[in-house]
Amino acid sequence: MGYTPSAGNLSSSAISTKIVIAGGFGAGKTTFVRSISEIEPVTTEAIMTEASDGVDDLTATPEKVTTTVAMDFGRVSLDEDLALYLFGTPGQDRFWFLWDDLIRGALGAVVLADPRRLADCFPAIEYFENSPSAPFIVALNCFDGVLPYAIEDVRNALALGPEIPVLTCDARDTASAVYTLTELVRYAMSLTSHPALV
């Protein structure tokens, strides 16, 4: 493997949680995970069978009984008893059924968007709007550090409610990635303190 496992730091009573990093292809998901993970982001494979029926046209390729899909993830040991995992969503939209597996038990999700290709993150936003179990925020990954529009214009373009936090970030920068996760956690906390707003 391309990284040095350091899970030995976790105690035998350690527990874990996760945050999902979503967004369109090329939005910077893996870069984001890399900038904060203590392990080199690694890829695991899920093998799909019946779950992809109706998605893949199996009649055209009767030999094809499974679909392999790769997911990137990283890890941050927040203390010796708590590991935070970051999971990047698969780039292809047709693997929606896998998102349910990714989001189950997650603290929340960051939808990364490339301001030059905002439409690419529409499907991710739509998914989380219809999946109330996990709060999400939108982070505009500004590669040059400059957002060419006002945040509110982006909010309108994405048809986001006023309660959803929208911020800019630089996925390559650790401090920026940490800040983004911090904002997500603060937002999730605001929902738990004021359940009426959920």
Residue numbers at the binding site for another protein (CB under 8 A)? 1, 5, 7-8, 10-18, 36, 42-47, 49, 63, 65-66, 68, 71, 73, 75-76, 78-79, 82-85, 87, 101-102, 104-108, 133-135, 174, 178, 181-182, 185-186, 188-189, 191-193
Q: Specify the residue, 55 or 189, whose C-beta has the smaller distance to another protein.
A: 189
- Between helix 29-36 and helix 174-193 the angle, nearest 10°, is 90
Q: What is the dihedral of CA 34, 37, 39, 45, to 10 degrees?
A: -70
- Alpha-carbon distances, residue 40 vs 9, 21, 43, 74, 179 (angstroms): 16, 16, 10, 7, 20
Q: Report, in Å, the least distance between residue 116 CB and another protein.
A: 28
Nearest distance from C-beta of residue 98 to another protein, angstroms: 10
Q: How far is the CB of 32 from another protein (least distance, A)?
A: 14
Query: Which residue, 85 or 122, is less far from another protein as judged by CB?
Result: 85
Amino acid (1-letter code) at residue 52: S
Q: What are phi and psi of 65, to 5 degrees?
A: -105, -15
At 175, which helix (H) or strand (E)? helix 174-193
Closer CB to another protein, 118 or 185, in the complex? 185
Rank residues 68 and 130 by Cβ distance to another protein and give the closer one.
Answer: 68
Q: CB 148 → another protein: shortest distance, Å? A: 29
- Yes or no: say if 42 and 1 are a contact pair by the CB < 8 Å rule: yes
